[in-house]
Amino acid sequence: MNHTLVLTAALAGLHDDAVEAAAKVTGSAPHWLSPGTACEFAVAEPSIVSTVRDALAGKRVDANVVPTARRRKRLLIADMDSTIIGCECIDEIADFAGLKPQIAAITERSMRGEIPFEGALRERVALLKGLPESTLERVFAERVRLNEGARLLVRTMADHGAVTALISGGFTYFTSRVAEAAGFATHQANELLVEAGALAGRVREPILGREAKREALLRLARQHNMDATDTLAIGDGANDLAMINEAGLGVAYHAKPVVAAAAHARLDHSDLSAALYLQGYRDTDLSLN
């Protein structure tokens, strides 16, 4: 058996009926990684995941198949907005300018892959011109929260020797703070330009977009003497597609349809800690502090 089927759910949400349904399809017994939350089955063919997902229809359980070889990844690259944190920072900035519906609509189209990211970012940032720079502090303090499992994912992988990087099409003001809160070793994003204490309506060029995220993954892999097979990329929007496709394990987290369809694994119900169970981590391996 050269592949592993992994079932994950929100905390204690993986019930016996779901496990039994998967066992019936696979013809093998479950091995528990986290009681009530994650278990795995040895399987021969990755295509079995479609049958398992059909068997689990209507249940809040994620089913994914991963190669068993080189399962634990040595590099984690994660998107920030709506992945590591639960909001889109630019939409929250816009809320303070009374422009959230207008800007959020552009964000949604960009994340679905309907319009190019770079042009969409320039358009949205231009609408924020003149907003006090202090608004960024308010957004971070009042709106930005780590998603469930974010710190656990990052800290556990780091403690087991992985390189961790937060790579965002958002803004360095937020990635610097979120990276510290979650435990990432490094971060990269776009820089909002400020003039006389107010947003200038521009970002520093070149814009970090889809291809820049892919290039960051490849650059970090080279720097640490690993190949793409050793990497994990996780994100939710079209801007993350290139790095997700390039990674050894590309994970769509509560993602837009175009991303969920293209990723190696999709997490629609589980929290971010499920990315650890996809790699074969068990509860005894987790960094809980």
Q: Tell me the domain boundaries of the chain.
A: 1-69, 73-289
In this structure, what token pair is assigned to residue 250?
A: 């590309």
Tell the burial category of 100 from Cβ atoms under 10 Å away from its Cβ (0-12, 13-18, 19+). middle
Indicate which residue of 62, 79, 95, 240 is catalytic. Answer: 79
Q: Is the pLDDT of residue 289 over 80?
A: no
Catalytic residue list contains 16? no
Write the CA distances from 258 to 201, 263, 266, integer angstroms: 30, 9, 11
Of the pLDDT bands very low, low, confident and very high (cuts 50, 70, 90), residue 166 is very high
Find the catalytic residue in 54, 62, 81, 268. Answer: 81
Q: In the predicted model, what is the mean pLDDT of residues 90-112? A: 97
Active-site residue flag, 81:
yes
**Stretch among 11-15, 74-78, 103-107 having the lowest mean pLDDT:** 11-15
78 torsion bin: left (phi>0), alpha (psi -120 to 50), beta (else): beta
116 C-beta neighbours (distance < 10 Å), count? 14
Q: Which backbone phi and psi does 12 adopt, to 5 degrees?
A: 60, 25
Q: Are 55 and 22 in contact (CB under 8 A)?
A: yes
Provide, rounded to the nearest whole percent, the portion of the chain with pLDDT above 90: 98
CATH number of 1-69: 3.30.70.260
* Angle made by CA atoms 110, 269, 190, in degrees to the nearest 5: 30
pLDDT given at position 176: 98
Select 73-289's CATH number: 3.40.640.10, 3.30.460.10, 3.40.50.1000, 3.30.70.100: 3.40.50.1000
Q: pLDDT per residue over 235-284, tens digit each?
A: 999 999 999 999 999 999 999 999 999 999 999 999 999 999 999 999 99
Q: In which region does residue 197 sit, left (phi positive, over 0), alpha (psi from -120 to 50) or beta (all else)?
A: left
pLDDT digits (tens, 9 = 90+) for 38-92: 999 999 999 999 999 999 999 999 999 999 999 999 999 999 999 999 999 999 9
- What is residue 12's predicted lDDT score, i.e. its pLDDT? 86
Alpha carbons 33 and 283: distance in angstroms, whole number: 6
CB burial class (10 A; 0-12, 13-18, 19+) of residue 208?
buried
